[in-house]
Amino acid sequence: MSKPKKKLSVSYITVPSQIINSLSSSSLQSLLISTKKAPPPSPSPSSKKAKPFQYKLSSKSPKLWFSALFLVALLGMLRIGFLPLSSYPCATTPTASNHHHILDNQAISQARTEPRYNNNYTSVEPREEPEEEHSFWKQPDGMGYRGCLEWSRDYRRRSERIVKERRKYVMVVVAGGINQQRNQIVDAVIIARILEAVLVVPVFQVNVIWGDDSEFSDIFDLDHFKRVLANDVRVISSLPSTHIRTRPIVETLTSLHISAEWIRSRYLRRLQKVGVLLLRGLDSRLSKELPSDLQKLRCKVAFHALKFAPRILDLGNKLAERMQSKGPYIALHLRMEKDVWVRTGCLSGLSPEYDELISQERKRHPELLTAKSNITYHERMLAGLCPLNALEVARLLKALGAPNNARIYWAGGQPLGGKEALLPLTREFPHFYNKQDLALPGELEPFANKASFMASIDYIICERSDVFMPSHGGNMGHALQGQRAYAGHRKYITPNKRHMLPYFLNTSLPELEFNRIMRELHQDSLGQPELRTSKVGRDVTKYPIPDCMCNSSSRGYSLQRHTKELAL
């Protein structure tokens, strides 16, 4: 008579839910249900490769029971990351609610050495992007150049005497738009230094075209201007009482390329006798080839002393930060206003009606034409003397790799043809803004009738952009070219109009070939270091190398050191 079988008692264990959840149902089934006999696994790290258990767990097999428990726990710990599955012990498994990116060593190294930056030099959230897009945002190689201003011993010795001057005064009236005025202010400081005289803060002539009656202190930080130049030229806000009734020497400059020697020979003796010199018409009159110390002083005025007034700077920075809030952005200076088409002798290409309007305006005011009058519009365009229109700007940006989702800030006046003139750009790049789009209600109201204020805000937002491109030359484009170079060569696209426009007219050229040609034509026009001395007559405030920049930290008066001293 066979003995009755004893009833097997089943043991239950408690396992953390995250371990159970980390195992698939097939894994649990292979561990607990399979009945084919197999040797128990060894409790070692290699057990994760062992075959599944082949016994039911019961009170008669405690060793197998503990082995199964150990294996379940081990696999669970591996899955939730308590033990390393790879060389990244803290790696996590992506889920629907937790999308973590696991980088390999090469990617981590690249992220540390080549982060994507916005204009404020803060990291932007990385994202996958095509090669052309990545290269578009890439900044040019500045070759280590930084601002360095080191004056000669003779310059420093003379400075000790000049800043104590109390007998000779130079007054200057500056005219034009804000960027023309900047250039004239720079030259005013240089002339005062040449004559070893005190500079009275330049007077802004009321702009007849825009009706702007702003003064120097409305646009620029006057205290900062005086402080930065304190060791070079003495600057005062107004003539002292001892000279108020003096009849000054009044001169309107008409000669071009005026040298330091010419200024001394013409004015120094009379100024010592009379005491006050009043100058007008400084615009582009002073020579671009001056002694080295005066070239450095030009850079110091342009890049250090001329700082915008606090309320302009605050608003400009706010709007720039709104552009930066979603990543890098392009700034365009679009020269598409009616007066620009008239003055350049060019046609906008909008329609025959607009072309006729421009032609009639030019016939009524032939004196407005600033380009050569003996060549046709077509010849003028092929010579690179015309601004790019919206369609040409859009095609060039696309060819150079600008992504369609790029954020674009555009500066400039109302274009001829209004918003319709901008359609070729806005269709390709829908994220298209100007200061009115970025400002909150009421923010621009205090500056509504002040063209100089508005232009200054444009300047700040363009200067802080990741990429800047003008559709034509001009004072603002030139000032920003020098400013971005001096700041370490921020990307600045100079449209190679003379060479690229024939390809724009070739309608049979495939798009891929057109894009390749555009990239090739502009590979050296992206803001790389360029020597001023490579071409005669270049302005040092546009090309600050080699006069005001050097590429060795052991040489010169570095920008970093100068900035620290100004802060003190």
Instruction: Map 267-336 to HEC letters.
Output: HHHHHHHHCEEEEECCCCCECCCCCHHHHHHHHHHHHHHCCECHHHHHHHHHHHHHHHCCCCEEEEECCC
Q: With CA atoms as reference, report the closest residue to 550 among 148, 69, 262.
A: 148
Residue 163 CA to residue 146 CA, distance in Å, equals 28
Ranges of residues in the chain whose predicted pLDDT is under 50: 1-60, 78-129, 553-568
442 dihedral zone (left: phi>0; alpha: psi -120 to 50; beta):
left
> What's the DSSP call for residue 450?
-
Token pair listed for 450: 């002040």
Q: Strand runs (DSSP E) across 205-254, as ranges? A: 235-236, 249-252
**Residue 363: its pLDDT value, please?**
87
* 165-205 per-position pLDDT tens digit: 999 999 999 998 899 999 999 999 999 999 999 999 999 99
**What value does the CA radius of gyration of the chain take, rounded to a whole number of Å?**
35
The CATH number given to 153-305 is 3.40.50
**Residue 211: its pLDDT value, please?**
72
**Residue 75: its pLDDT value, please?**
52
Which amino acid is it at 199? Answer: L
Q: Do residues 400 and 347 make contact, with C-beta atoms less than 8 angstroms apart?
A: no
Contacts of 213 (CB under 8 A, 6+ apart): 204, 206, 207
Domain positions in the chain: 153-305, 310-473+493-526
Residue 561 CA to residue 372 CA, distance in Å, equals 46
**Residue 537: its pLDDT value, please?**
86
